[in-house]
Amino acid sequence: MLRSICWIVSGTRLHGEDLTACSRDEPKPTPSGNCRGRLLVSGTVLIDVHTHVTPPEFPACPDAAAAKRWPCMQCSGEQTTLFSGDKAFRVLDARSWDAERRIADMARSGVSMQLLSPMPELLSYWLPSGAASIVCDTVNDHIAEMVAGHPAYFRGVGAIPLQDVAEAVRAVKGLRSRYGLDGVEIGSNINGKQLGDPEFEPFFAAAESEGIAIFVHAIHPVAKVADMSAQYVSVVLFPVEIAMAAASLLMAGTLERYPRLRIGFSHGAGALPAMLGRLDQGWKRADGFGGRIEIQPSVTARSMFIDGNVYDPVLLRHLACEVAPGRVFAGSDYPYKIMEENIRGLIDRACFSDESRNSIEHGAALAFLNASA
């Protein structure tokens, strides 16, 4: 399917060229979503890069040390609840693991392909490394099975035990050869450590060397305190958390040291667009943050990929035209309650040119997955 998609969009420029720097005289979105007379064109290839998978079952817990947070599925009728140890985490249904159900939903919503990634809670950084590897292997096996069974509809990224960097580096090298996956999903922090921490340098080096994509998803925000509700964490802290992850990598110089990394950030990179001016000012006033980086952060940020799961056409347009032109791809957060149910409608309301629209619908996703290789 990716080869056929590449053929369909063979006129799209990839890899280092400016796909979509938005023209200043493109139609601008209005609060009603009208595009000032522009004829909206739908029907092109649409790749949803932000979707999640949970396997329908997990192996037995391997030891007592992992028991408190071991994932387990408990079924009741058509619904299944994922437990973490003895605590219910989330009610799920077949959309989380059933390929045919997903394909039917994709047909209804006009999505051509999904990039499958693990439910973030399954990244399992809080488990001992050996136990976490079992969970990661289980998730990777299931995603690989869905991709292999329906290659016209799915691509996948897997999970690795990044709390053990040496083991994570070994796991990175097997994502393609063992599972046929295009990359890895990682959390926005690893047990409270920011991604720019030098401890994770070997992982980023390995990811660049192997040529895999990295999708960074908000998880367990470090700013959370005990009395914050799950709803508050999801809608308020996740955008802050993912921005902190991106800013950490910018300030640490990780993306300068590994310029061939293909790294994408969930939830529109959260609050990062509002931070870039302050990051640039700090860079100027603090001599490149103590000499760690040479390039202005807002410039390096244009090399990041960002998902368009922002629900707001004005913000989507700002991301695609100003923050990271040619690097913004479509994302829904399927199959969860908070998901964007009408990706095409959101893109319509942002009033892009055909070139910009094509980039968001498939061009940036193909570049992220290195699909033209």
Residue 368 to residue 268: CA distance in whole angstroms: 15
| Residue 81 phi, psi dihedral angles, 5° rounding | -110, 130
Query: How buried is 363 (Cβ within 10 angstroms: 0-12 exposed, 13-18 middle, 19+ buried)?
Result: buried
Of the ranges 56-65, 86-95, 146-155, 364-373, which one carries the lowest mean pLDDT score? Answer: 364-373
In the prediction, which pLDDT does 28 show? 63
As given in the structure block, the two tokens for residue 69 are 């947070």
Q: Across all residues in the chain, what is the average pLDDT?
A: 90
Mean pLDDT of 318-331: 97
pLDDT level of residue 79 (50, 70, 90 thresholds): confident
In the prediction, which pLDDT does 199 show? 98
Residue 225 has pLDDT above 90, yes or no: no
Task: Pick the more confident residue, 67 or 75.
Answer: 67
In the prediction, which pLDDT does 26 show? 59
**CA distances (Å), 166 to each of 22, 177, 290, in order?**
42, 18, 28
pLDDT level of residue 242 (50, 70, 90 thresholds): very high
Q: In what order do the strands lie in the sheet with 328-329?
A: 47-53, 113-118, 154-158, 183-187, 213-217, 262-265, 305-307, 328-329
CB 268 within 8 A of CB 315: yes
H runs (alpha helix) in 59-187? 99-109, 129-149, 165-172
* All structural domains of the chain: 35-53+99-368 (3.20.20.140)
CB 245 within 8 A of CB 220: no
